[in-house]
Each structure stands twice: as C-alpha cells, then as structure tokens.
C-alpha cells in the first residue's frame, strides 16, 4: 500500500511538473511571436519611410542603403528565429535609423512632410512596443531557464528534453548614452 502511495505521489508530481514546464515553454514561444508580429509591422513600414526620404535625399544614398541592409538583416534573423542574430541586426537597424533621422534634420521640406512625420511616429511607436515585448520575452525565457534548472524539476526537464531558451540581449551600442546634439546637428 505504501509503495502504491509513493508511486502515485511521484506520478502526480511528474504530471504537474510536466504541465508547468509546457506552460512556461509556451509563454516563451508566445513572447517570441509577439516580437515577431511587431518586427514584421516595422519591416513593412520601413520601405515607405525610405521611399519618402528618397524624394528629398537624393545624395544621401549611403544613409538609405544602411537602413535597407539593416532591415534585411532583421528580417532574415526574424524568419530564422535566430535570437543572437536578431540582437545584432536590431543594433544595426537602430543605428542606421538614428542616422537617417539625424540626416533628415538637414531637410526642412522632409521634416515637414506629413507622410514622413506619420511614418517616423509609427516606427518610433513600434520601436517602443518592441522594447516592451523584448522585456516580456526575456522574463519568459528567464522563468523557463530557472525552472528547468531547479531541483527536482531538472530531472523531469532532462528526462523530457526541455531546453534552455536564449535571451534577447542588448548589443553594447544600444547601452551607450545617445549624443542628442550630435544627432540633430550632424
């Protein structure tokens, strides 16, 4: 009787732990999907911004090309679910967009163009939402990684093949202070 009682307790623990780990894993996937949606939306908006800028910035091809290349890098990493690659591509895109917006300051007609203003606000809003979702994703990943390493859950995680997820880290360039005056006077 005691043997069956212990066996039932172990089975119940195994089932409860498994269900909890599956839930946490699904939170990580949901958080990634939320980031993916926003990245796709931003990816769709960037060509419109670039086209709007091209009409005014005919001799700023290098600036526009850097945004285009960075956009392609983010899209490739997003489609491959490459967290490390996405982090690097996001840094390049953030830098190139900062350069684009700084150069746009030299074009009063562009700054006054309603389409440019709307696109700039839309992309800035998406950037803020991406930052929020990245924080939620990293929280979900942290919960997953802690849970699959805690004893005795580590045994269930190991037996059933639950794996660590990768945090979406900030690149060092994103952590530096921004020289606002250089961006607006550049």
Per the structure, the count of domains in the chain is 1
Per-residue pLDDT reduced to its tens digit, 124-139: 888 888 888 888 989 9
Average pLDDT taken over every residue of the chain: 81
pLDDT at 183 over 70: no
**How many residues appear in the chain?**
186
- Per-residue model confidence (pLDDT) at position 185: 41
- Per-residue model confidence (pLDDT) at position 18: 93
Which structural domain range is residue 151 located in? 2-185
What's the start-to-end Cα distance of the chain, in Å? Answer: 80
pLDDT band for position 141 (50/70/90)? Answer: very high
pLDDT at 184 over 60: no
pTM: 0.65
120: CATH = 1.20.1440.20
């Amino acid at each position: 009787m005691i043997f069956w009682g212990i066996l039932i307790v172990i089975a119940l623990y195994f089932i409860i732990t498994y269900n909890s780990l599956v839930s946490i894993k699904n939170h990580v996937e949901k958080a990634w999907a939320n980031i993916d949606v926003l990245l796709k939306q931003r990816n769709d908006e960037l060509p419109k911004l670039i086209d709007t800028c091209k009409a005014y910035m005919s001799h700023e091809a290098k600036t526009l090309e850097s945004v285009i290349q960075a956009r392609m890098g983010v899209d490739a990493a997003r489609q491959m679910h490459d967290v490390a690659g996405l982090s690097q591509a996001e840094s390049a895109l953030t830098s190139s967009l900062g350069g684009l917006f700084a150069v746009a300051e030299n074009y009063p007609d562009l700054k006054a163009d309603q389409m440019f203003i709307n696109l700039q606000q839309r992309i800035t809003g998406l950037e803020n939402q991406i930052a929020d979702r990245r924080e939620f994703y990293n929280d979900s990943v942290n919960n997953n990684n802690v849970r699959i390493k805690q004893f005795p859950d580590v045994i269930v995680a190991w037996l059933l093949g639950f794996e660590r997820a990768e945090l979406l880290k900030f690149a060092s360039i994103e952590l530096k202070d921004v020289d606002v005056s250089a961006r607006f006077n550049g």
